[in-house]
Structure 1
Amino acid sequence: MFNALNRFISRLDGEPAPAARENHGAFGFQVLRNTNPQLAIEPWFDFVVGINGRMIDDSDPRLFAQEVRNCAGSSVMLGLWSAKGQRTRALHIPVPADTASLGLTLQWTPLAVVSNIWHVLDVPPNSPADVAGLLPYSDYILGTPEGVLHGEGGLSELVEDHIGRPLRLYVYNNEYNVTREVTIQPSRDWGGEGALGCVLGYGALHRLPAPLSEPVHAPGETMFDGDLAAAAAGQAGFMPAAGGVVPPVAATPPPPSSSADFLVPAQMVDAQTAPVSAPPRSKKKERPHHGAPNLMDDYFKEQEKKSRELDNAPSRTNSPLPPPPKGGPPRGGPPRTASVPPKEEGGE
């Protein structure tokens, strides 16, 4: 079932929608070589998709080189898309005035090329994958120097051509964040299933994750930094309840952000302009909010209504009359009939 789901998702990935094509153009300059060790740019994993705040939609390398030369003596901002976690970041790079070169070797490549990745899920003992040193659940097969792999069946076709012969593979490990070359010899006589002897995953569920050293994004992201909060509390200090007037603390505005991120967070309200106390509420009935409906509340109300209908539970509006009190007839017993005393006959 999961293999069929992966194949279906891979077909969707192979035919990107127009909206997805507009997101980073679905193309970019893939970094093939980085000769500047001071640049935090990884070959093969990083794609240059923007420059100086504009997305790159033209494959002409001369336009890109001219934009870099225009920033000679200052810095250029590159928008980088990483295959690790499929994230975008901005990087400011100083451009030398004499050479006007970044030391990068780039190639115009579709971003979908990094989807041809095979995730090593299970490695049985004494299998060719185990002998080669593949690690389960943390290794990803990126490619091979023997040729280019296209599609889900590209690796299996290459393995069939190397039965009984050594095959070199480029393998990335997520736990150690390193890429190494592994030599494996496919065989069908090792005593198990498959020529490689390992279970592989392919498709959208097996993309390259972000390195473990990077901060975790939502859900579970860090909402507040404890160190900054502790430092702010230490600067303000604790003032005694009884004493003089507490001097106001001058609020320094936050420094301007140096990174030109593609997502700009909402601005926080300044402490000096924020109201000290909320205005008193009027005695009139508050108007209902016109914001987004609470879907969870509506869902619970709907389920409660269905449950009451199934249980034939009486509602509050149309409740029947209460049953008569228990305990039999009244304490005085049944009503007695009034007896008329007989008339006395008078004698003479």
Structure 2
Amino acid sequence: MGNQSSSIDQTWFHVVRVRTNSPAYKASVEPFFDFITSARPASMKEEELPDKPLQDIVQEHKDSAINLTIWSSKRQSYRDVQIIPSIGWNELDSSLLGLTLRACDANRAVSSALDNVWHILEVIEGSPAESAGLVPYGDWVIGWPGGVLRQENDFYDLVEMHTDKPLRLYVYSFDFDTLREVVLVPNRQWGGEGLLGCGVGFGLLHQIPVRPST
């Protein structure tokens, strides 16, 4: 994909959410790990990228195929995805792609996409973490329905805010290469220390390992 070195100077779109059964869902676009770097009509060559915002390209090609170039932070590689923008997939959702996107700087996406994750370490028996099914050393918290967590303390502040309340988290399993939603209730009455009852690692030694491209 010849234009990708120059695309590093552009704005990318971080995929925050993918609605079930949407065009993006059927095209296997992944939330949190995928970044849309460019878009073009399927009939157009890559070197002929249109000088238009992503939203305009999508709107102008409703019910027609477009190609999205996507960078995966999980695999550290690019891929092209063909997708047909449509409103017919859900009567209650007017989104043509079924995506929630967040504009971001491309350089920052490449350098720090996997930084803001929280590695689940030891899990104590009988704890909220165990009750929620968190897997020691195999799970990473990567976000929650309220959006992206950008700094280390964001996660701990979120847990504190949900003391004795259900907290929904998006958790990635490296062993199974799957993303799932987990609901737990942070509390201090479970019989041990802490609100979660598990160790949590953050930083360079606790990043998600890069998966090989397939």
Query: TM bucket by the smaller chain?
Result: 0.5 to 0.7
Alignment correspondent of 2:27: 39
2:78 maps to a residue whose letter is: R
Structure 1 residues 94, 151: closer, same or farther in 2, change over 3 A? closer
1:44 maps to a residue whose letter is: F
Tell me the secondary structure at the aligned position of residue 152 of structure 2: coil
Structure 1 residues 135, 63: closer, same or farther in 2, change over 3 A? same
1:291-314 Cα deviation digits (max 9, x unpaired): xxxxxxxxxxxxxxxxxxxxxxxx
8 Å CA contact 1:75, 1:92 repeated in 2: no
Alignment correspondent of 1:169: 169
Structure 1 residues 123, 23: closer, same or farther in 2, change over 3 A? farther
1:196 maps to a residue whose letter is: L
Give the CA deviation at 1:72: 9.2
1:145 maps to a residue whose letter is: P
Alignment correspondent of 1:103: 97
Give the CA deviation at 1:49: 1.5
Tell me the secondary structure at the aligned position of residue 53 of structure 2: helix
Counterpart selection for 2:78 from 50, 64, 89: 89
Higher strand content, 1 or 2: 2
Q: How far apart, CA to CA, are the structure 1 residues paired with 2:205 and 2:129?
A: 22
Structure 1 residues 71, 146: closer, same or farther in 2, change over 3 A? closer
Structure 1 residues 196, 27: closer, same or farther in 2, change over 3 A? farther
Q: TM-score, normalised by structure 1?
A: 0.44
Q: Which runs of 5+ in 1 are unaligned?
A: 1-21, 216-348
Tell me the secondary structure at the aligned position of residue 179 of structure 1: strand
Identical aligned residues as a percent:
37
How many residue pairs get aligned? The number is: 185
Structure 1 residues 48, 207: closer, same or farther in 2, change over 3 A? same
Q: Which has the higher contact order (CA 8 A, sep 6+)?
A: 2
8 Å CA contact 1:123, 1:198 repeated in 2: yes
Structure 1 residues 63, 131: closer, same or farther in 2, change over 3 A? closer
Tell me the secondary structure at the aligned position of residue 169 of structure 1: strand
Task: Specify the structure having the higher radius of gyration (Cα).
Answer: 1
1:28 aligns with 2:12: yes
Q: How far apart, CA to CA, are the structure 1 residues paired with 2:84 and 2:131?
A: 47
Structure 1 residues 167, 178: closer, same or farther in 2, change over 3 A? same
8 Å CA contact 1:138, 1:173 repeated in 2: yes
Alignment correspondent of 2:3: none
